[in-house]
Chain A
Amino acid sequence: MNAFQQYFYDLAQTHPKWNFIYLYDPTQTDRVIEGLWMTIQLSVVCVILSVIIGVVGAWAQGAHSKYLRLVMQGYIQFFRNTPPLVQLMFFYFALGQFTPTYSPDGWLEVPIISNVGWAIISLSFFAGAFNVEIFRAGIEAVPDSTQEAAEALGMNRLQIYIYIVLPLAFRVSLPALNNNLVNLVKTTTQALAIAVPELLYQMISIYNDYSTAQNACMVFLFFAYFILVGILVLGMHRWEHRLRIPGYGA
């Protein structure tokens, strides 16, 4: 045990309510790191997927096909009007029953979509539903007259969408997107309900095993999410700043 670990070990002896066990017991440290890593992976993958769902969905919402628009509307209403926790449990416990399984050894039956897989699917669709609405609002904010000018210059619909509408819509959407992605990162904690070993799951496991570690675990949770979301927000703000157009809009 090094001096740092020793200090927290001693602290736990003198102040039993402040047992920072994950700072001196390597086994617990590993659990925290595993949880943190899972949370980061879950967040990054879900952020990317939800943004893709948002862009494609916003395009589909403006499509000519009435059927496609109806499907999008149904999707958005479903995911926006139900709690993400219920969605997670529904995906994993209900839909999970019907997904095919495979057997690695002839005995076990392993579903092809794991709980982590379902968490990614469920959370991405949850945040994606909001992203669709966010991007749609951005697209609507692009003046028709600007698109008309592009049309008069001979650009076709796809060119107008790619070179004019999306770059402008994206800038308008960024602040709202920012909020939604922050929410998404925080919502990854709910994957706990289907036993995804993310940070909250691991911390609860630690203080279930060592009840004196409860306060210390809570402290770490706040600290960790504060930093994680802080990094995301900082990155988004930088991006927003870089995309700012001199003399344009807000």
Chain B
Amino acid sequence: MTNNDWTPDQPLVSIHDVHKSFGDLEVLKGVSLDIMKGEVICIIGPSGSGKSTLIRCVNALNTIDSGSIKVEGLEVHDPGLDKLELRKRVGMVFQQYNLFPHKTALENIMMAPLKVLKQPQAEAEERAHKLIKRVNLGGKENSYPGELSGGQQQRVAIARSLAMNPDVMLFDEVTAALDPETVNEVLLAIKDLAQDGMTCILVTHEMGFAREVADHIYFTDRGVIVEHGPPATFFTEATDPRTREFLSQIL
């Protein structure tokens, strides 16, 4: 299980023929894709097409029925896997932010480094201060999530995830619950990350953003990847009728 003959020239995340059902409903019907280090991919598609399920499988929040997912050579769904090894490598940001409401912004960011990585208080605090500035929230260190706007909360959530120093970040429709005027500040934070070379998997409905930051776009429908390509060609030269219909509705 704990590899590891993985080398950085191999895909950082490798998803191979993944199937997943909830009861009778098959949400993923054989999905495969590879993500190289430093790559930013966007997964788009209609609701219920399995996008969120797919990225939740990448950090084992959901189980899979068959197939395999590897992160840096770690077999994610190996029952013997030390989940902590996986979670140290994979950061995740959720649609509803899911901050810890009883902790300040700074404490939210420090929580995992202190409790999980057992970092010393001073070190965790110093890093948290840096991260909160990085997401442009200097001055909000001692605010509670309930005192922050959706966009601000989401940026704290990004910083909280970064505090674990992940190698890949998963973004699950992170702007879907935001007021339109705060969407941009979150997208900027993600763009900043992507430009710094962070490997990112984004599930998003922000087509303009996908076109701007993604190296590769995947379109899913009813549990399969229908079509994929680099943004330059994907939006203009999509051939599958399902992709064309989706794009015509959303663009």
Contact = CB atoms under 8 A, between A and B. Distances in A.
B102 A145 contact: no
Contact of A168 (B59, B91, B101): B101
A156 B118 CA distance: 13
Contact of A153 (B96, B101, B161): B161
11 contacts: A146-B99, A148-B94, A149-B99, A149-B100, A150-B100, A153-B111, A154-B88, A159-B115, A248-B144, A248-B145, A249-B101
A155 B144 contact: no
Contacts of A247: 144-148
A246 B104 CA distance: 10
A153 B160 contact: yes
Contact of A152 (B61, B102, B147): B61
Given A153-B161, A245-B146, 4 more contacts: A153-B116, A153-B164, A163-B115, A246-B146
Interface in A74-119: none
A25 interface: no
B87 A149 contact: no
The A interface is mostly helix, strand or loop, or mixed, namely helix
Interface residues of A, number: 23
Interface of A: 143, 145-146, 148-156, 159, 163-164, 167-168, 171, 245-249
Contacts of A146: 98-101
Nearest to B116: A154
Contacts of A168: 101-102
Task: Report which residue of A148, A150, A151, A154 has the largest number of chain B beta carbons within 10 angstroms of its beta carbon.
Answer: A154
A155 B161 CA distance: 12
B132 interface: no
Interface string B61-101: 10000000000000000000001100110111010101111
B116 A246 contact: no
B102 A154 contact: no
B164 A154 contact: yes
Interface residues of B, number: 31
Interface in B125-164: 143-148, 157, 160-161, 164
Contacts of B83: 154
Contacts of B98: 143, 145-146, 148-149
A7 B82 CA distance: 79
Contacts of A152: 59, 61, 87, 90-92, 161
A150 B102 CA distance: 13
Contacts of A171: 102
Interface string B49-69: 000000000010100000000
Contacts of A248: 101-102, 144-146
B87 A154 contact: yes
A34 B92 CA distance: 61
A113 to B, nearest CB: 41
B198 interface: no
A149 B87 CA distance: 11
B112 interface: yes
A155 B115 contact: yes
Contact of A245 (B84, B96, B102): B102
Contacts of B84: 154, 156
Most buried by A among B102, B112, B148: B102
The 9 closest A-B pairs by CB, nearest first: A247-B146, A154-B87, A149-B98, A153-B112, A248-B146, A247-B147, A154-B116, A152-B92, A248-B101
A206 B92 CA distance: 69
Given A153-B161, A154-B83, A248-B145, A145 B96 contact: yes
